Structure 1
Amino acid sequence: MSKKLTEKVSWVGKTDWELTRFHGDEYSTHRGSSYNSYLVRDKKTALIDTVWKSFDAEFVQGLKQEIDLKQIDYIICNHSEIDHSGALAELMREIPETPIYCTANGEKILRGHYHKDWNYVTVKTGDSLDLGDSKLIFVEAKMLHWPDSMFTYLTGDEILFSNDAFGQHFASESLYNNTVDQAELLSEALKYYANILTPFSTLVTKKINEVLALNLPVNMICPSHGVIWRDDPLQIVHNYVKWANNYQENQIVLVYDTMWNSTRKMAEAIAAGILQADPSVTVKLMNAAKEDKNDIITEIFRSKAVLIGSSTINNGYLFSIGGLLEMIKGLKFKNKKAAAFGSYGWSGEAVAQLTTALSESGFAIVNEGHRALWIPDEAALSACSEYGQQFIQAL
C-alpha cells in the first residue's frame, strides 16, 4: 500500500517486520527493516529505487495498483545492491525500454547482477533530470557504502533521497522519525553507522561537507531503510558528522569468551577495578559467544577503550573472539585504546596474540595485557581488580 509524502511523492516500498538477519548472516535486525521506494509524479514520473528481490512480484503488483507502469518515464537506481535493485528484473519485464539512471559504477554492477542490456543512462554529480515543475539533481556518494552509491535531490519539495546513508534497519508502519520511539530510532541509526559505515568515516565527512556546501534546503531525508526524517531532518546529518569524527563516549567495554568461567571471572574483577578507580565511566561486559556480534560492534564503536579476553585453546584464542577480531579489523576503528586478558592452563599464548591483533586493527595498546593461571583465586581476582584500576588510569 502506497503512502503519500507530498502532493508529488509517494512511498511505494515494503515494510519487513519478519527480517531478523541481513547481508546473509552478517547483520542482525532485531526490529525488522523496510525497503523504501519512492514514486515522484510531476509532468514526468520517476521511480526512485525498488525493493529486495524477495518481494519483487509483490512490489510490481502494488505499483500496478498505484500507476499504469507505462506512465513511469524514468527509474532512478541510487544503489545497485540487491535489497534496493532486487525488483528491477521483474519490473523491466513489464516496461523494458524505460531508462535507468545510475552512476557509471552502478551500470557495471547492475550488469553484473542481472546480465541485462537495459537502457542505462549514467549520471555524475551535478547532473539533473527535468520532471516538469521540479528537477532531480544527482550527487555521487562513492563508497557510502558501495562504489556506485549516489543521492538524488528533488527540487521544489526539497527532498533528499539518500539511499543507504542516514538509514536504519527499523520497521515502522508510521513511516516518520517523529512518530516512533526516539531511543529505539537513535539506537538503530547508531548501530547501522557503526556496523556499515565506520570504515568510510573520512568519506562520510567529506561528502556531507560537499552536500552542505550546495546550500540545498532540505525538508525531508528519505533513506532506503527505516523511517523518513521529516521532523528536523538534518539531525541525522549532524549525528553522522559526530559519529564520523573518531567517535567515542565515556565507556569501556570488556568483550570475552570463556570455557570454564575463569576468563568471565577475570572480566568481572577487571570491571570492578575500573569502576573503583573511576565511577563516572560506563562499563559493559559482553560474552562474544552469547551476545549478538553487531551489538558488540556497536558498543565497541561507542567506547573509548576496549578489553578483549579469551582463554587459551590449542595455542590460540577462542572461535567467537577470532570472528569478532576479523570484523573489528575490517571496520577500521579510530581513536580507541585496548588491551587483552585471559586465563590459561599451560601455554597461555592467547593474550599476546590478542594484543597483536588489536594493534594490527589500529587500536592504541595500553599495556601487554593480563593473564591468570587456572581458575583465579581471591589473590588472582584481586590482581585483576588492580589491573582494571591501572588500565583506566593509563587512558
Structure 2
Amino acid sequence: MSAVKILDDIYWVGSVDWNLRDFHGYSIYKGTTYNSYLVMDEKITLFDTVKKECRHDLLHNLRNVVDPRKIDYIVVNHVEMDHSGSLTKLMKLIKPKKLICSAMGKKALLEHYHREDWPYEVVENNQTISLGKRSVQFIETRMLHWPDSMFSYIKEDGLLISSDAFGEHWATSERFDDEVDQAELMAHAAKYYANILLLYSPLVQKLLASVKESGLDIKMIAPDHGVIWRSSLGKILAAYDCWSRQESKAKAVIVYDTMWRSTEKMAKAIAGGLAKEGISIKMMNLKVSHRSDIMTEVLDAKAVIFGSPTLNNGILPTLADILTYMKGLKPKGKIGSSFGSYGWSGESLKILNEALTEMKFEMVDPGIRVKNVPTHNDLKQCVALGEKIGQAIKRSL
C-alpha cells in the first residue's frame, strides 16, 4: 500500500498486515492495519508508528511524501508495540526534535526501549502545541486501553487521531468507512470493542460525555487500526455509547462443548424453548467457535447459558478457557444458567454456576444436569429451562 491523502497535507502512511490471524488470543480472520498519520506543516509531524516487522512499509510510505529526515516531531499516542515497534529504527534515521507523549507514555517508552537519550516532550491533558498552520490538542484517555493512551485532536481539520479507540482489526485496501461494506465494518468494530474495550466501558462512557461537553468539532476519526471514519461518525459514536452502556436485546448465546453429543442435545432443546419465547439465539459449540467470536455475540445478548459435561470431576478445558476470558472482560447485566451431562460424579453444573455467580450474572435457574444420555423427559425439562430464561429476558428489557 502507498501513502494515502486523507485531508489537505495529511496522509495515512501506515501498513496493512494481510496475514495476521491472532492478536493476543483474539482471532483475526481478515488481517489488520497499523495506521500512522503524517501531517505536513511548518513542523512536520508523524502520529504513531507501526509494529517492528512492518517498518519498511512505513518508511516507504513516508518517502512517497517527504524525506523522513525532515520530520520534526513524532507523537506517541500509545506505546503498545504494534504502534511503537518501529521507533528504535525511526529515531536513528529521523532524529526528531521532539518525541511527544503523555507522562505515562514516557514511563512506558523507557520501560520498553530503555532510551534515556530520546528527546521526550511530555504533554498534559488538554495541552495544545502549534505545528504552524495547525494546532494539536492532546486528550488523555488513560486505560483506553493502556495507562499511556491519549488522543490527538487537530482543530483546524476537525481530525481526531484516536489511538486504539474506534478501530477494527480488518485489512483492507480501502482507507475510509464509506468505501467498505457497512455491515461488515460494524461487525468488525463490534468484535474489536467486545474483545479489547468492553472491560473499560465505564471509562468509555466518561470519555464520550467529556468529548460532548468539550464541544470538539470532530469531522473525521482516524484510529490506529482499521478504516478512517469520515461519513459514519454518528454511527460509530452511537455504537460506542450503546456498547459501553452494555445495552442488551432479546438474544441468548448458548456456549457449550460436548463429548458424546448428550450435552449438545440438551443445548438444542434449550434453544427450542428460547425460540418458543421469540428470543434470538446463537448456538456456539466451542469446538468450532473462537472465544473472541463468542464475546462478540455476548456483547448485545441478555442471556448467556453454558453447557459442559463433567470431565475428571470438572468442566471441559474449552469451558474453562472461555470463562476465564469472559471474566477478564467483565460483561454486565447478563442472565445466566447452565446445563450438562455426566457419567458418575457430575460436578460441571456446580463449577459453571460458581463462575457465573462470580461474574455477577443473574441466575434465573440453577440449571439441569443429566446422567449419560438425556431421555425425552430430560429434553422436555431443557425446553422448559429455555422458556423460563426467555421469559426472564423479556421481563428484563
TM bucket, shorter chain: over 0.9
SS of match in other structure, 1:304: strand
Paired position in structure 2 for 1:80: 79
2:338–2:367: 8 Å Cα contact kept in structure 1? yes
Q: Structure 2-normalised TM-score?
A: 0.96
Matched, 1:22 2:13: no
Q: What's the offset of the Cα at 1:253?
A: 0.7
2:73–2:96: 8 Å Cα contact kept in structure 1? no
Paired-residue identity, %: 44
Paired position in structure 1 for 2:386: 388
CA distance in 2, matches of 1:106, 1:239: 28
Paired position in structure 2 for 1:322: 320
Paired position in structure 1 for 2:257: 257
Q: What's the offset of the Cα at 1:60?
A: 2.4
SS of match in other structure, 1:63: helix
CA distance in 1, matches of 2:194, 2:272: 27
1:195–1:297: 8 Å Cα contact kept in structure 2? yes
1:49-198 paired onto structure 2 within 5 Å: 49-117=48-116, 118-198=118-198
CA distance in 2, matches of 1:79, 1:234: 25
1:271–1:385: 8 Å Cα contact kept in structure 2? yes
1:352–1:369: 8 Å Cα contact kept in structure 2? no
Match of 1:300 among 291, 298, 314: 298
Q: What's the offset of the Cα at 1:247?
A: 2.1
Give the letter for the 1:196 counterpart. I
1:92–1:98: 8 Å Cα contact kept in structure 2? no
Deviation larger for 63-72 or 234-243: 63-72
CA distance in 1, matches of 2:30, 2:250: 27
Q: What's the offset of the Cα at 1:112?
A: 1.1
1:205–1:244: 8 Å Cα contact kept in structure 2? yes
CA distance in 2, matches of 1:215, 1:301: 29
Q: What's the offset of the Cα at 1:69?
A: 1.9
CA distance in 2, matches of 1:57, 1:90: 10
Q: What's the offset of the Cα at 1:58?
A: 3.4
2:3–2:64: 8 Å Cα contact kept in structure 1? no
SS of match in other structure, 2:249: coil
1:128–1:136: 8 Å Cα contact kept in structure 2? yes
SS of match in other structure, 1:239: helix
CA distance in 2, matches of 1:330, 1:289: 21
Match of 2:329 among 318, 328, 331: 331
CA distance in 1, matches of 2:303, 2:326: 13
Q: What's the offset of the Cα at 1:201?
A: 0.4
CA distance in 2, matches of 1:189, 1:65: 30
Q: What's the offset of the Cα at 1:369?
A: 1.1
1:188-337 paired onto structure 2 within 5 Å: 188-276=188-276, 278-279=277-278, 281-337=279-335
2:145–2:196: 8 Å Cα contact kept in structure 1? yes
The structure 1 segments of at least 4 consecutive aligned residues displaced by more than 3 Å after TM superposition are none
CA distance in 1, matches of 2:217, 2:371: 62
Give the letter for the 1:48 counterpart. F
1:41-56 paired onto structure 2 within 5 Å: 41-56=40-55
| Cα distance, 1:193–1:164 mapped onto 2, change above 3 Å | same
Q: What's the offset of the Cα at 1:18?
A: 1.2
CA distance in 1, matches of 2:335, 2:53: 42
Paired position in structure 2 for 1:2: 3
C-alpha offsets along residues 307-343 of structure 1, whole Å, 9 cap, x if unaligned?
0000001111000000100011111111111011100
Give the letter for the 1:378 counterpart. H
Q: What's the offset of the Cα at 1:263?
A: 0.3
Structure 2 residue runs of 5 or longer lacking an equivalent are: none
SS of match in other structure, 2:160: strand
Give the letter for the 1:260 counterpart. W
CA distance in 2, matches of 1:207, 1:387: 40
Provide the aligned length of Structure 1 versus Structure 2: 391
Q: What's the offset of the Cα at 1:79?
A: 0.2
Q: What's the offset of the Cα at 1:92?
A: 0.7
Give the letter for the 2:370 counterpart. A
Give the letter for the 1:78 counterpart. N
Q: What's the offset of the Cα at 1:97?
A: 4.7
SS of match in other structure, 2:77: coil
CA distance in 2, matches of 1:392, 1:218: 41
Structure 1 residue runs of 5 or longer lacking an equivalent are: none
C-alpha offsets along residues 152-209 of structure 1, whole Å, 9 cap, x if unaligned?
0012111000010000011111211011011100000001001110110000010111
CA distance in 2, matches of 1:65, 1:390: 62
CA distance in 2, matches of 1:380, 1:202: 42
CA distance in 2, matches of 1:217, 1:389: 48
Give the letter for the 1:270 counterpart. I
